[in-house]
Amino acid sequence: MTRLLLIEDNLPDRIRYRRMLSLAPESYELVEVGTATDGLAALDSSIDGVLLDHDLPDIAGLEVLKIIRDRSDPPVVVMLTGEEDANVCIEALKGGAADYLMKRRIDEDILHRSIRGAIERGRLEREVRDQQRRLALFYRLASQTDDALFIIDSVEGRVTECNHSARAWLGVWPFVEGTDPAIPAVFQSFDQWKAFLDEAATQGSARFEWNVKSADGSSAVCEILARLVNEQGVSYVVAVGRDITSRVETERDLMDQTQRDGLTGILNRRAFDAALVELWESSAQTTTPLALLMMDVDHFKAYNDTLGHPAGDECLRAVSGAIGRMIRYPGLRVFRYGGEEFVGLLPVTDVGAARNAAEDLRRTVEGLGLAHPASPTSNRVTISTGVASRIPNLDDDPADLLAAADEALYRAKFEGRNRVATALPF
């Protein structure tokens, strides 16, 4: 059974969340407290997730979030707020919150999906942390082996000893009297070699990483760890090099998993936050417009209530798949923003082209022909979309673009749904 800690000072809200969770298809054990102090006292390793109010009487919600996330093995946190403030949302997600829910929009379906997604992301994050701990242990053990081992006189900057692996793989050779000190082949220049030795000598340790060619011509990622040691008054740099290609690929795969939505397989909200900042900065540098499309499946709660959650999950998979396969727009990046909301980013796209793209997406989803018996808008599953586009400025906040698209989405819904609305100039 999933164990949740609810930190909420408003009693009616606590009662409302308790009722919503009691209606969820999964069983939850709920621990309720009214202050941050009591919440932190109740936090232990048995807690799987925290529902955290942003506005608490004793400690600010964002500060509580930091305290929780600073723990060695923190539970996932879903932030709850009554504020329509995109900046607070971004700060919460940057601080490590798995999700951010506005109280007035929460129903049992949204709350359950948010918790379920947060718990799954937390599991994947723990896998990444466990992998990193195992790799750290591996580093310590590898420093005691003879894998690509070489020793450098830190004063003279010359190799005094090296093993066969260091010679064969990294091109490290010991110094020969009467010759100039040779730079190991793995280092691309004397300056790079000197920087490596200087860092080890001044900091006590150094780490470098390169792509190197193996004997068979394949590329491998080489990591060299070095530590400064003193032996009978002489300082040496002891270096261990090894192939970390598999580790890098594993970390990349695990990181990709944490940035993908567990239900639909498309990129998730965390990936969106990073992509928005990345594209905002690159578009500002090239002075090209960046478009944002905020999409919402119309009357999705009614769809779930009528056909059931399994059908709702299949609906979201179908919609996300259809949107993601729009190869006509090769620059389009699609993310699941939360619940039945999706967001798309289109670089180098003005508002007119973005609206055309949104109309194509709307027609594509409607063309799936997914029956929606409970929709007052159409007998098929449809989407409403808000579109915003602007040439970014590095002094501006990318959250403004998101807020503008969200406002346009609200108008599209207000005007009857199954339509596209563009943001007002901002």
3-state secondary structure of 165: helix
Q: What does the buried/exposed string (b/e) look like for 279-301 if buried means 16 or more CB atoms within 10 Å of the residue's CB?
A: bbeebbeeeebbbbbbbbbbbbb
The DSSP annotation for 289-311 comes to: -EEEEEEEETTHHHHHHHH-HHH
What is the rounded CA–CA span in Å between residue 162 and residue 150?
4
CA distance linking residue 243 with residue 222, whole number of Å: 5
Catalytic residue among 251, 340, 366, 407: 340
Q: What angle do CA 54, 56, 61 make, to 5 degrees?
A: 40
Q: How far is CA 23 from CA 17, 111, 122, in A?
A: 10, 11, 23
Q: In a 10 Å sphere around its CB, with 0-12 CB exposed, 13-18 middle and 19+ buried, how is residue 3 labelled?
A: middle
Alpha carbon separation from 357 to 279, 353, 364, 416 (Å, rounded): 18, 6, 10, 20
For the packed helices 86-94 and 399-414, what is the interaxial angle rounded to 10 degrees? 130
- For the stretch 153-192, what's the b/e string if a residue is b when 16 or more beta carbons lie within 10 angstroms of its beta carbon? bbeebbbeebeebbbebbebbbbeeeeebebbebbeeeee
Q: Report the residue count for the chain.
A: 426
First to last CA, the chain: 47
Give the largest CA-CA distance in the chain.
90
Task: Identify whether the C-beta of residue 335 lies closer than 8 Å to the C-beta of residue 268.
Answer: yes
407 is catalytic: no
Q: How many CB atoms lie within 10 A of CB 425?
A: 8
Interatomic CA distance for residues 46 and 30, integer angstroms? 12
Is 217 strand, coil or helix? coil
CA torsion 189→192→197→201, rounded to 10°?
A: 150
Measure the CA–CA gap between 107 and 86, rounded to whole angstroms.
Answer: 20
Which of the residues are catalytic? 340
